[in-house]
Amino acid sequence: MMVKELKKHGGTRIGAGRKKGSSVYGEATKAVRIPESLLATVSELLDHKKKLLATKNIEHPAIYFPDLDSPVPSIPFYSASVAAGFPSPADDYVEKRLDLNELLIKKPSSTFFVRAEGESMLGAGIHPGDVLVVDRSVHAGVGKIVVCALDGELTVKRLRSKEGKLVLAPENPDYSDIPIREEVEMVIWGVVTSVIHNV
């Protein structure tokens, strides 16, 4: 009588491997073969995906990230300037079509949006309810308007140097400078590059 030998290697093992969706990409993955000529391109795409997910780990409900996968409509862009003083003759010549993402977002993978609150930055043209375009890749040097977390609270201020010390300066005389002290936990999240303001 022949007895079949039980296989002890190979096959599916219950409980083995990573849990579905636990990869660095936040979803299930699948092994594929790709041409060597496309290896660098695919690697770059995967790195971009990982960085994008890393930026989304910022836990704050007021932070929004550009949707890189959605179709972007372009809008007609008229070459004529609009006079804020006396009216000037109108020109209906369309110079080109304008993509607002190209205009406002230089580096999509390092950009996020946040809505402004309060009136401390009125002098810089930032009003309550405005949407700030913030680029994490821009160097936060003196003179830049930065979004930062102070002891866990978000604020937007201009980074200034006064008497040799850095301060977070408002653009409204009704508000005081915030000195940057060692005992205060401060993390600069990025530099404000544009303001979207409704009229």
Which is the catalytic residue, given 7, 30, 81, 120? Answer: 120
Which one of the listed residues 37, 109, 157, 165 is annotated catalytic? 157
Looking from the CA of 131 toward its CB, the CA atoms found within 13 Å total 12
Is 157 part of the annotated catalytic residue set?
A: yes
d(CA 148, CA 120): 14
Is 120 a residue of the active site? Answer: yes
The answer to whether the CB of 87 falls within 8 A of the CB of 123 is no
Query: What tokens appear for 58 in the block?
Result: 């910022």
108: Cβ contacts below 8 Å, ≥ 6 apart:
66, 68, 101
Q: What's the CA gap between 93 and 80, in Å, rounded?
A: 7
- What is the residue whose two structure tokens read 């994008």? 52
Residues ≥6 apart with Cβ < 8 Å to 46 = 25
Catalytic residue set: 120, 157
